[in-house]
């Protein structure tokens, strides 16, 4: 640890695990002993207010060019007390639009000062084997970049004591959130009722009845596709024309961006 930072809180929401991988790599790059990890994918995890001499690194996936509202529900309103934070958006190779700005704004409201921001790419939740979108990402290069970002955050904290308001890309008003369509992934005939989809769902939208049938509450489903990616049988599917649209238009590789 250095003189300025005495503890680090690494907070992430990550239904399909890409934001978690990025968060861990950033954590490695920070090279600190006193790192607390708060995975808020399945619940609030009681995030405490932050002492002034702490750093919070906050990592969220991008949904519709925004931060998913469930992220802020899970995060709650911890008081930043003027402590530093780094904000990170992980998106599926289309764009992160206003997500990074929204994350920075929300952390400012909670009393944090944003020292750095970054965007990374993760396999798109709607990616399919026959129409891959950022498949396999974050890859080795992305994870090296994430580790490097962690190192640069610490370097900035150690060398720039009085930093001003950080500019991050994005617009006010934020991109409009479209109403969710009444759709959700479905379990097909090859479902073996193992229940992994049930336990993978961050919003508890999936249940297994005594006859081994899977039920999905469409209103609770956020389309995160954790259930699709975790299914060992490939029996859970989410068929959306959007996958082809993404594959046709957003297959060209994008790369991480840092803002200091």
Ligand X SMILES: Cc1cc2nc3c(=O)[nH]c(=O)nc-3n(C[C@H](O)[C@H](O)[C@H](O)COP(=O)(O)O)c2cc1C
Q: Which is nearer to ligand X, 115 or 246 (CB)?
A: 246
Residue 209 beta carbon to ligand X: minimum distance, rounded to whole angstroms? 26
8 Å CB contact between 58 and 31: no
Q: Which is nearer to ligand X, 115 or 224 (CB)?
A: 224
How many CB atoms lie under 10 A from the CB of residue 146?
25
Q: Which is nearer to ligand X, 64 or 111 (CB)?
A: 64
Residue 2 beta carbon to ligand X: minimum distance, rounded to whole angstroms? 29
- Closest-by-Cβ residue to ligand X is 122
Residue 226 beta carbon to ligand X: minimum distance, rounded to whole angstroms? 7
Rg (Cα) of the chain, in Å, rounded?
19
8 Å CB contact between 13 and 20: no
156-162, long-range: CB < 8 A, 24+ apart:
156/115, 156/116, 156/260, 157/2, 157/4, 157/5, 157/55, 157/84, 157/115, 158/2, 158/4, 161/4
Q: Which is nearer to ligand X, 88 or 153 (CB)?
A: 88
Q: How far is CA 131 from CA 32, 203, 239, 244, 251, in A?
A: 40, 27, 11, 7, 9
- List contacts with ligand X (CB under 6 A): 14-19, 61-65, 90-95, 122-125, 223-225
Kind plus residue range of the DSSP H or E element containing 124: none
Residue 99 beta carbon to ligand X: minimum distance, rounded to whole angstroms? 8
Residue 22 beta carbon to ligand X: minimum distance, rounded to whole angstroms? 8
Residue 245 beta carbon to ligand X: minimum distance, rounded to whole angstroms? 12
Residue 229 beta carbon to ligand X: minimum distance, rounded to whole angstroms? 8
Q: Which is nearer to ligand X, 19 or 216 (CB)?
A: 19
- The dihedral region occupied by 138, where left means phi > 0, alpha psi between -120 and 50, and beta the remainder, is beta
Q: Which is nearer to ligand X, 93 or 114 (CB)?
A: 93
Strand blocks (E) in the chain = 7-12, 35-39, 54-61, 84-91, 113-121, 186-187, 206-208, 214-216, 236-237, 257-259
Q: Which is nearer to ligand X, 67 or 84 (CB)?
A: 67
């Amino acid at each position: 640890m250095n003189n300025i930072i005495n503890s680090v809180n690494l907070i992430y929401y990550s239904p399909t695990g890409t934001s978690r991988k990025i968060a861990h790599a950033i954590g490695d790059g920070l090279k600190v002993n006193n790192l607390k990890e708060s995975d808020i994918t399945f619940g609030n995890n009681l995030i405490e207010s932050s002492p002034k001499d702490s750093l919070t690194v906050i990592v969220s996936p991008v949904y519709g060019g925004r931060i998913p509202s469930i992220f802020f529900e899970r995060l709650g309103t911890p008081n930043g007390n003027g402590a530093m934070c780094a904000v990170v958006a992980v998106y599926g190779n289309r764009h992160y639009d206003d997500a990074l700005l929204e994350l920075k704004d929300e952390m400012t409201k909670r009393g944090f000062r944003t020292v750095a921001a970054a965007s990374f790419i993760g396999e798109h939740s709607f990616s399919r084997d026959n129409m891959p979108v950022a498949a396999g990402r974050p890859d080795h290069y992305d994870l090296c970049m994430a580790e490097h970002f962690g190192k640069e955050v610490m370097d900035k904290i150690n060398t720039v004591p009085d930093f001003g308001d950080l500019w991050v890309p994005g617009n006010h008003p934020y991109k409009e959130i479209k109403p969710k369509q009444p759709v959700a992934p479905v379990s097909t005939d090859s479902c073996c009722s193992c229940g992994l989809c049930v336990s993978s769902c961050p919003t508890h939208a999936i249940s297994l009845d005594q006859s081994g049938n899977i039920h999905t509450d469409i209103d609770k489903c956020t389309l995160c596709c954790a259930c699709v990616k975790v299914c060992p049988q490939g029996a859970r599917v989410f068929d959306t024309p959007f996958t082809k649209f993404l594959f046709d238009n957003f297959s060209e590789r994008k790369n991480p961006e840092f803002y200091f």
